[in-house]
Structure 1
Amino acid sequence: METTIKKKAIGLCLLMMMLLACTKSAEDTDELGEEKGYATGKVLDGTGNPIPGARIVLDNTILYASYIHGTTDKNGIYKIKAQLGAWRTFAYADKTYNGQKYTMELFPDKTDAYNEEGAVRNFTWKLEGRMPWEAENYYGGFVMLRSGDGFYEDEKDIELVFTPVGPLIDGSAGRTLSIRYGEDKWQNRYELQDIPIGRYKVKAILKKNGTDQPLKVEDWDKQDGLKPEIQLDFLPDPPNRGHNSASIAIGY
């Protein structure tokens, strides 16, 4: 008899736990579910934590420069009343890093347009990879390359090494990047693409005739001379260049 009562009690507890879990799941679904007439969604960083204060922009796909603005709450959730028309949702996070303010565009789970009925569009912060809106744009930073005076080596013989100094802009540890011409991040002669935004120590190596010869590099934005190694920061909005970019000169 006692064993039967215990079994019933355990079964009742399990049932209550299942009901609580279902209730919580339903609440979570309602919180982020599609709501007629509203653009809704959640914005997360790379580790799954919410990003409060992210800027949300509803962009009209037909009318030029017609926007609706909003922000995420402390849980990374936004809810914006959708108006008549066709809309796409964009999200941006403003981040101060090493004393400079950067604007980071965030990755959408869907890119198709919706109307005044509303839709759910969630976003994640990515440090690298192609943007779905435009094939030529990347989430990582851009580096313009220059040749120092009298430097005429073939770029195919050069290796650039980026070593993180401290965490990257999103707080992650980052990784050392050894980049050669013809690889995904160095397709054009004078351009590096999609470097995760961070502070780096940068050096260059001439790999030619079976030898590794150290070269010198210069932060062209500082123009303080060629050195065996430099500390490089991306600039949020440098003049005459794309945002979140840097420039390096290579020489002997």
Structure 2
Amino acid sequence: MTKTSLLLLAVLALPGLAACEGSKAADAAGPESGYATGTVVDTAGNPIAGAKILLDNSVFYASYIHGSTRDDGSYRIRVQPGAWRVHATFRKDYNGRTYTLELHPDAIDSIDQDGGVRNFTWQLEGRGPVNDYSYYGGFIQLSSAVGFYEDFNDVELVLTPDGPLIDGSPGQQLRLRLNDHYWRDYYQIEDIPIGRYTVTATLESDGQTRPLSIQDWHGKSDPTPEFQLDFLPESGGSPGAKASIVIGD
């Protein structure tokens, strides 16, 4: 190949190389001075439109800047001087109820007037990044029925999904024992993926297993061998969901 041909090929390749470099630069876009920017996606990576973005001043009490995401899940909010921590929530309708759900950030450090990028993802479960007491799943309060004195260490709860979870995924059966991943406190189960479940309980004692009665305390239902559990949204539009189970003979 002649030097002229090689030179011509190099010239023709330059636009394509420039386009590739431009695409890489767009993908790795850094902070925009004076703005908080980012994207919000669901559990499948699809954009969430209308998510609420809150910039909370980390120095001054009750000093906020509000915004929301566009149809493509992106947001761009002007930042005032100071240090701001970025939070994101969104509202989701599920089985006739509306839930406010906290979204998971890719970083928790504050941003300032120089701008910063904070992206958020919807997680069905998992501990929040600030402390071990916050989580994205639902909370279940446990209690013993009158006259039931058995040790919860001998109890197994089984939660079987009854239809898709709140994000549309099929979910999976959960077999819960005290001190496992979800049942970390004697009367509290934490971080269950929000969904509708059929719940049963059994007692293992003296080498034998027997079924227990179980009821929904919120629904004031009668004790039965199984019942349908629905998480209730936290009151006042606060993030979270809760349920309550009574276990007895």
What's the CA shift for 1:18? 5.2
**Alignment RMSD, CA only?**
2.4
**Amino acid across the alignment from 1:109:** D
Partner of 2:104: 107
Native 8 Å contact 1:42 1:50 kept in 2: yes
| Correspondence for 1:117 | 114
Please say if 1:97 is aligned against 2:117. Answer: no
- The 8 Å contact of residues 238 and 245 in structure 1, kept in 2 or not, is answered as no
Structure 2 portions without partners, runs of 5+: none
Q: CA deviation at 1:138?
A: 1.1
Question: Which of 185, 188, 193 is equivalent to 2:185?
Answer: 188
1:231 aligns with 2:225: no
Name the TM-score, length of structure 2 as normaliser.
Answer: 0.90
- Quote the Cα distance in structure 1 between the aligned partners of 2:15 and 2:148: 74
Cross-structure match for 1:201:
198
Identity of aligned residues (%): 50
Change (3 A) 1:36 1:142: same
Structure 1 CA distance for aligned equivalents of residues 8 and 148 of structure 2? 82
1:158 to 151, 155, 160: 155
The 1:14–1:181 alpha-carbon spacing in structure 2 relative to 1, beyond 3 Å, is: farther
Is the CA contact 1:203–1:230 (under 8 Å) kept in the aligned structure 2? yes
Taking a change above 3 Å as real, the CA distance of residues 226 and 77 of structure 1, as seen in their structure-2 partners, is same
Alpha-carbon separation, structure 1, partners of 2:165 and 2:13: 45
Q: For 1:172, give the aligned amino acid.
A: S
Taking structure 1 as the reference length, what is the TM-score of the superposition? Answer: 0.89
Deviation of 1:82 after TM superposition, in Å, equals 0.3
Report how far residue 12 of structure 1 moved.
9.2
Extract unaligned runs of 5+ from structure 1: none
Q: Counterparts of 1:68 and 1:236 in 2: how far apart (Å)?
A: 25
Q: SS at 1:156's partner residue?
A: helix
The answer to whether structure 1 residue 46 and structure 2 residue 43 are counterparts is yes
Contact 1:159–1:179, Cα closer than 8 Å, also in 2: yes
Number of residues of Structure 1 aligned to a counterpart in Structure 2? 245
Task: Name the residue aligned to 1:26.
Answer: 25
Distance 1:174 1:11 in 2: 53
Provide the secondary structure at the position in 2 that maps to 1:26: helix
